[in-house]
Chain A
Amino acid sequence: MAIKAEHINYVYGKGTAFEQHALKDVNLEIEAGEFVGLIGHTGSGKSTLIQHLNGLLRATDGKLYYNGRNIYEEGYDMRALRSHVGLVFQYPEHQLFEIDVFTDVCFGPKNQGLNKEEAAKRAKEALTMVGLDESYYKRSPFELSGGQKRRVAIAGVLAMNPDVLILDEPTAGLDPKGRDEILDQIKRLHEERNMTIILVSHSMEDVARYVDRILVMNHGEKVFDDTPKEVFQHYKELEAMGLAAPEITYVVQTLKSHGVPIDTSITTIEEARDEIIRLLGK
């Protein structure tokens, strides 16, 4: 497996008046090549959890393994870990600093020790992936729109060519088209390069459409860990946590309660369409 966490606990501000137990006994395993969604209401500990996965935060208690090795053991190379596990932060556009877009994207590969040509090649690939063409290369990152900055920042992590890519709400504040483009691109990376993806999202529709497995966080604890179909069956409990299932779940559940023999494990509009056509055709 790629990542395995055992009994992870994390307390912010330990020993101060502002102690905050942000993660409580979290266990999880993520296999190489999986596409996992991480959902949970605001403040449930999603961002805290993913910062453990590349060693930016050190668990107050618990163990974390990457490819079978305990990352907390003496002498573990954290910088190497960070180039295998790429992390795109929430609002990553705030981390841009170089004079132009291209140099900024080169920052990661250069830190990995690649030479100029290799770094440039990686940067080019990454920028193409996020849909920015050469006309952007020499522009200052600060004069771009919010969505364009977001793409540059994502490219900055993609250029490091990580094995595991973690994205913390990569689509927050983007228009529907931009959102679909970015998510489709991530999907493609997953399929073509077999990259392991962890996607933090508030949008149940996105999660239902793209991921193989969902982890649900609530008040620092992992409460569900299953396929979207299974997790969205618990839509009542999700609601109690301040979350919701995709709209379509409500449609099929309502149809079912009115006596329509519909399959309630449907999570996307396309599936629902096919199922309804099948039912009508009968």
Chain B
Amino acid sequence: MLKDITLGQYYPVDSILHKLDPRTKLFGTMVFIISLFIANDIWAYVIATVFLASAIKLSNVPLKFMVRGLKAIVFLLLISVSFNLFLTPGTAVVSLGFLKITKEGMIVAGFMGIRLIYLVVGSSIMTLTTTPNQLTDGLEKSLDFLNRFHVPVHEVSMMMSIALRFIPILVEETDKIMKAQMARGADFETGNLIQKAKNMIPLLVPLFISAFRRATDLAMAMEARCYRGGEGRTKMKPLKYGNQDRVTYLVYVLYLAAIIGLRILRVQIF
């Protein structure tokens, strides 16, 4: 039941995108997001679509999984598209009482919808092809320069990776305890709100206890292996850019240049 939630949602297959350095993918996602906000021309969107489609193709992840993330924003998508559709002033195409759909509204709403969908799909490509650990590694390395301003980058990223690591464990644990209490006749579904909250006690108490137990165990295990923060610490698998990363960065530059070029050269549509 609970297991069906996909958190962190890494999709384990082999592909070019999976092999890229996490920093390359982080940067690429940023480039893509920025490009979506620069693009205001149909051709720019065509280029963005090609860019996104090739990334999807190269990732070897079934489209089904990319689109899954969209479920979360269906509501947001509907609201923003309909607001733009009905509330943009301009030449009316259809009018229903006080509501009218304008030509400009249709264009804005269309681009808005595409932009939102691309944003979500674009960032899921990164999370689907990068393990949470690689991601924090990439972030740590990219944000290295903050160390100079006394930001504890290593500590923060260590906390992040531990938190990420613990999510599936806690989900599994919740599932187990829930089942064990259900076997003893516990009921987590029926009753009013207060009843339901009360019924959660047999689940929450053991869950908290086990979370604390795991936390102390982990702290002990880290101490026992002489962990003492990031200073002077080397990595077993240090991040290193390879040729494929260099090629990818080149693609980013070309892509961004094309989008910006179009913006400068072409007339604006809105």
- Asked if chains A and B come from one complex, the reply is yes
Q: Which of A51, A83, A89, A157 has the most CB of B within 10 A?
A: A89
Are B176 and A157 in contact, with the CB atoms below 8 A? no
Cβ-defined partner of A79 (8 Å) among B180, B185, B201, B206: B185
How many of chain B's residues touch chain A, expressed as a range?
20 to 34
Are B206 and A95 in contact, with the CB atoms below 8 A? yes
Are A89 and B209 in contact, with the CB atoms below 8 A? no
Bound-complex Cα distance A87 to B209 (A): 22
Residue A142 lies at the interface, judged by CB distance under 8 Å to chain B:
yes
Residue B54 lies at the interface, judged by CB distance under 8 Å to chain A:
no
Are B180 and A82 in contact, with the CB atoms below 8 A? no
Residue A188 lies at the interface, judged by CB distance under 8 Å to chain B:
no
Residue A12 lies at the interface, judged by CB distance under 8 Å to chain B:
yes
Contact (A111, B185) CB under 8 Å given A89-B179, A95-B180: yes
Cβ-defined partner of B181 (8 Å) among A17, A79, A83, A95: A95
Interface 0/1 of A1-42, CB less than 8 Å to B: 000000000001100110000000000000000000000000
Bound-complex Cα distance A79 to B185 (A): 6
Contact (A111, B206) CB under 8 Å given A13-B3, A89-B176, A89-B179: no
Bound-complex Cα distance A111 to B201 (A): 14
CB distance from A91 to the nearest CB of B (A): 9
**Taking CB as reference atom, which chain A residue is nearest B3?**
A13
Q: Which of A94, A96, A157 has the most CB of B within 10 A?
A: A94
Interface 0/1 of A84-107, CB less than 8 Å to B: 001101001011110000000001
Contact (A89, B3) CB under 8 Å given A17-B12, A94-B206, A160-B185: no
Residue A112 lies at the interface, judged by CB distance under 8 Å to chain B:
yes
CB distance from B64 to the nearest CB of A (A): 8
Interface 0/1 of A57-88, CB less than 8 Å to B: 00000000000000000000001001100110
Contacts of B173 in A (CB 8 A): 94
CB distance from B246 to the nearest CB of A (A): 30
Residue A54 lies at the interface, judged by CB distance under 8 Å to chain B:
yes
Q: Which of A111, A112, A160 has the most CB of B within 10 A?
A: A111
Are A107 and B209 in contact, with the CB atoms below 8 A? no
Residue B163 lies at the interface, judged by CB distance under 8 Å to chain A:
no
Are B206 and A97 in contact, with the CB atoms below 8 A? yes
Residue B227 lies at the interface, judged by CB distance under 8 Å to chain A:
no
Are A108 and B185 in contact, with the CB atoms below 8 A? yes
| B136-195 contacts to A (CB < 8 Å) | 173, 176-177, 179-187
Bound-complex Cα distance A92 to B183 (A): 11
CB distance from B193 to the nearest CB of A (A): 20
**Taking CB as reference atom, which chain B residue is nearest A97?**
B205
Bound-complex Cα distance A94 to B174 (A): 11
Are B180 and A94 in contact, with the CB atoms below 8 A? yes
Contact (A86, B6) CB under 8 Å given A17-B11, A97-B202: no
Contacts of A94 in B (CB 8 A): 173, 176-177, 180, 206, 210
Contacts of B185 in A (CB 8 A): 79, 82-83, 107-108, 111-112, 160
Are B183 and A82 in contact, with the CB atoms below 8 A? yes
Residue B65 lies at the interface, judged by CB distance under 8 Å to chain A:
yes
CB distance from B165 to the nearest CB of A (A): 16
CB distance from A247 to the nearest CB of B (A): 33
Contacts of A111 in B (CB 8 A): 184-187
Cβ-defined partner of A97 (8 Å) among B4, B11, B201: B201
Are A12 and B3 in contact, with the CB atoms below 8 A? yes
Contacts of A13 in B (CB 8 A): 3-4
Q: Which of B65, B184, B205 has the most CB of A within 10 A?
A: B184
Bound-complex Cα distance A89 to B176 (A): 9
Are A107 and B184 in contact, with the CB atoms below 8 A? yes
Which A residues are closer than 8 A to B by beta carbons?
12-13, 16-17, 51, 54, 56, 79, 82-83, 86-87, 89, 92, 94-97, 107-108, 111-112, 142, 156-157, 160
Top 9 nearest A-B pairs (CB, nearest first) are A111-B185, A97-B205, A95-B180, A108-B184, A87-B183, A89-B180, A56-B179, A17-B11, A97-B202
13 contacts between A and B (CB under 8 A): A17-B12, A83-B185, A89-B176, A89-B179, A89-B180, A92-B180, A94-B180, A95-B202, A97-B206, A107-B185, A111-B186, A112-B185, A157-B183
Which B residues are closer than 8 A to A by beta carbons?
3-4, 6, 11-13, 65, 173, 176-177, 179-187, 201-202, 205-206, 209-210
- Having A13-B3, A97-B202, one finds 15 other A-B pairs with CB under 8 Å, namely A12-B3, A54-B183, A82-B182, A82-B184, A82-B185, A92-B180, A94-B177, A94-B210, A95-B177, A95-B184, A95-B202, A96-B206, A97-B205, A97-B206, A107-B185
